[in-house]
Structure 1
């Protein structure tokens, strides 16, 4: 960044990213110094130590188990990520497309992403790095193939016959449309008993189906899995999901109470099924957030400060998992994606800066064909993800290259920033033109410039007076600003963001 009268680079020790452990260490050190002074330090001006900001997850889409294990150790743990979401681990149909992973053949933990043993080793490794593991669980359906076939691990199957697991009577045959597929999303019975694009729909209201699905999920939990993303939850009755989850046990809990549950329930205008009816089971993905974030950034970024406030369009914050994009929405265009470059990174900065919902960062691979799967060997095994030396938005990537959005400096820096601010309230909000700023109590402040021109202004902040380093720079030098009498002069380049927190005072 070019030095300016308001942004002075100052050498500092290399510190690429900071997680919750760094924030805690700083807080302890500051508290020790405060104990030697005449006046104890104000806790509101110190980094959070209760872990309230240590809540960010990352979806490593189609990453192998070995690659996730390495990433937990090398990056996710040190950066301060709280959990990682894996792709479905069960046996699936053969084929190179990404969606083959969402067509189960059996509940063997054998897939093109790795073996059962590799999966278990990954969970243990991530736990050692301080990162929880959550799994994408496909329990609504089996395959969508009309012709018989053989799955990844050698299991034979037909559309409604899965030897030793399911037979014809274990599936819905709704008879509500000529194809048995969902035709109208305004008909609850169709959505929850007809087939989603020909995928054989399990009769989850029946006891045998519930028991077998519970056994599959319990197997995952027995390997140490900390949470589940319930794929296509909208296509099952909320009571069915509750019954499937009820028998699960984790650790000393006898009711699965400490198992994180995230349900995919896409909100549709005037549709009879809403995310709210699933809240008794756990959190839901609030798709409205990502869709509206894309719109306000394209129009008036200042409106992003209001996202999550409208009770008619959003579930309560504690019940929501929010995201800028996921593997479906980056392909259907309903949200931003890596192809939006800087806008995608800055939108993620705003999501992580705000107080609404539990944030999930996305990290996938580049593509031009929306069906294309990840890079694979000749036998179909997925190639281990590699991020290279300097992942950044707008990079020129070949199809299949790993984008590694979770390592972008703006994103990784904000994960550490969020760990410092914890649950401090949103304060000092400001917007003008294409620029937005907000603070989190007396612990942190962020300013984002979506515009094409440099932003120079003076802002009011609740940060304690002093000098601060920008935590989003991603380098070894400190881009410094000074807060005096609660005011700070800022210079933000076009398409950039700056963030400061009380763990990075000079």
Structure 2
């Protein structure tokens, strides 16, 4: 008896505390709200508005977004880019939000600092949170080059060199004339970077690892792809340098205070020193006094086994975009009816760690012609959105390019159906979710609803036959006996009558989505 008690005490003391899933404790909707939360990525790669600046366009759309049920807006990087039309991922100065005359412009691609802050204020008034895209891995567009020693590395394996140490000229000096010491007095030089991709002396494009006093080489706390994936592009930041760490930490809290934002989207974290990144998230939360700060990270891999070590490392401090689910959706769209829909969630963050999963169908990088091209084809786009918006696991993000007219990827029919699905999420998709994943070309799930919302029945099909109609017998529970359901996605008046035991014969046309809701 005593031995058993000692073993029990030892087990309880030695057991690691459980990690609370990030989506269970982060703010993803207004405090006190019981409505389904929803994020929108409010830009595409080539976003511009012909009439007003992007920030002004955002400000004008905020009331519409709130009315539709969106609770968070992910903005493009607001910082000054290396080029006038740069998107901000070519980060030049994080502290310049469109205020100083540098790189041929005062405003950023998206507008001026005043326009950004005005949009953020309107968002705050409407109770919708702004999410800042933080580009902390690299810099571009230095003000001057410096001379130092470096060694070229093989692009397919950055741990192996392709030549001897040599003297190069790298664009690593950032002096920020015009801004001066406003907001930050930190000045970057070669000591603050691990590598560059251009030798100005020989005009040679290669991956150069900087060597010499004070340089420790590539960080070992990064992804192992290509041997070591510390270097992504441009001028790679050394996150182990104490001056770098403090400036990035100060910026994190400054951008939150300046914009009133509710969190961050972290760009390209597989290339980032993950020990410092965890410290950065925890410190920014602590300094801001906001333990519920929203953070989502981009780790781009379709393989769940690559992502899980990162999820464990970050201990619930950040959610992750469900790239494996996007990959499954993409393959499903390519394979059409040959794809077994029963496997659509296999190997996804949504399946394994749903409280960590920010789900999406497409984004600015997956559009045809972009760096991570993997566009979910239009014939399957609505089915994909129905899965992430209505099923009840993961936290969905809608892509601007699928919702608003644009020259890159817009489909009017997709956008119209997407608006209906967002409406269904806001009004009906609540309560327990029960899956009917029994057919290869047609899967279904039921949301049972709650006291305020009546629930729904959702059916997805990838069958290609134009005349085929799926018929599924589904239990909606005895509480709904005798009630009629209508298909929110169809214009016809057909109804489904629920029998005395709570069962109904629900249908879905081939290659489409049906969302059955209570009539009346």
Q: TM-score, normalised by structure 1?
A: 0.69
1:166 aligns with 2:188: yes
- SS of the equivalent of 1:190 reads coil
Following superposition of structure 1 onto structure 2, how do residues 299-310 of structure 1 map, counting pairs within 5 Å? 299-304=338-343, 306-307=345-346
Measure, in 1, the Cα distance between the counterparts of 2:470 and 2:434. 21
1:455 aligns with 2:469: yes
Match of 1:415 among 410, 414, 422: 422
Structure with the larger RCO, 1 or 2 (CA within 8 Å, 6+ apart) = 1
**Structure-2 change in CA distance of 1:174 and 1:417 (3 Å):** same
Measure, in 1, the Cα distance between the counterparts of 2:411 and 2:252. 30
Q: Deviations over 1:447-503 (max 9, x none)?
A: 122222331424213162312343335x7x8664333343333443333212134xx
1 or 2, which has the higher strand percentage? 2
- SS of the equivalent of 2:138 reads coil
Measure, in 2, the Cα distance between the counterparts of 1:481 and 1:50. 35
**Structure-2 change in CA distance of 1:280 and 1:207 (3 Å):** farther
Measure, in 2, the Cα distance between the counterparts of 1:220 and 1:478. 51
Measure, in 2, the Cα distance between the counterparts of 1:268 and 1:480. 40
Contact 1:301 1:436 (C-alpha < 8 Å) held by counterparts = no
Contact 2:429 2:456 (C-alpha < 8 Å) held by counterparts = no
Measure, in 2, the Cα distance between the counterparts of 1:488 and 1:359. 29
Which protein is bigger by CA-based radius of gyration? 2
Contact 1:246 1:255 (C-alpha < 8 Å) held by counterparts = no
Match of 2:97 among 109, 131, 153: 109
Match of 1:261 among 284, 295, 300: 295
Contact 1:289 1:322 (C-alpha < 8 Å) held by counterparts = yes
- SS of the equivalent of 1:172 reads strand
- CA RMSD in angstroms comes to 3.6
Measure, in 2, the Cα distance between the counterparts of 1:267 and 1:489. 40
Measure, in 2, the Cα distance between the counterparts of 1:214 and 1:280. 20
Give the corresponding residue for 2:120. Answer: 123
Match of 1:67 among 50, 53, 57: 57
Alignment length (residue pairs): 401
Match of 2:277 among 235, 241, 253: 241
Measure, in 2, the Cα distance between the counterparts of 1:50 and 1:113. 33
1:285 aligns with 2:296: no
Contact 1:293 1:307 (C-alpha < 8 Å) held by counterparts = no
Measure, in 1, the Cα distance between the counterparts of 2:129 and 2:358. 16
Q: How far did 1:173 drift?
A: 3.3
Match of 2:497 among 482, 490, 501: 482
1:426 aligns with 2:433: yes
Task: Name stretches of at least 5 consecutive residues in structure 1 with no aligned partner.
Answer: 1-48, 149-157, 366-385, 389-396
Measure, in 1, the Cα distance between the counterparts of 2:372 and 2:299. 18
**Structure-2 change in CA distance of 1:116 and 1:480 (3 Å):** farther
Match of 1:316 among 353, 378, 381: 353
**Structure-2 change in CA distance of 1:210 and 1:185 (3 Å):** closer
1:355 aligns with 2:343: no
Following superposition of structure 1 onto structure 2, how do residues 55-204 of structure 1 map, counting pairs within 5 Å? 55-62=37-44, 64-74=54-64, 76-94=65-83, 96=85, 100-107=87-94, 108-110=96-98, 111-143=108-140, 159-164=171-176, 165-173=187-195, 179-180=207-208, 186=224, 190-192=228-230, 195-197=231-233, 199-204=234-239
Q: How far did 1:422 drift?
A: 5.8
Q: Deviations over 1:176-201 (max 9, x none)?
A: x972379x963698323xx213x211
Measure, in 2, the Cα distance between the counterparts of 1:58 and 1:289. 18
Contact 1:336 1:344 (C-alpha < 8 Å) held by counterparts = no
Following superposition of structure 1 onto structure 2, how do residues 378-417 of structure 1 map, counting pairs within 5 Å? 387=404, 399-400=407-408, 408-417=415-424
**Structure-2 change in CA distance of 1:403 and 1:260 (3 Å):** farther
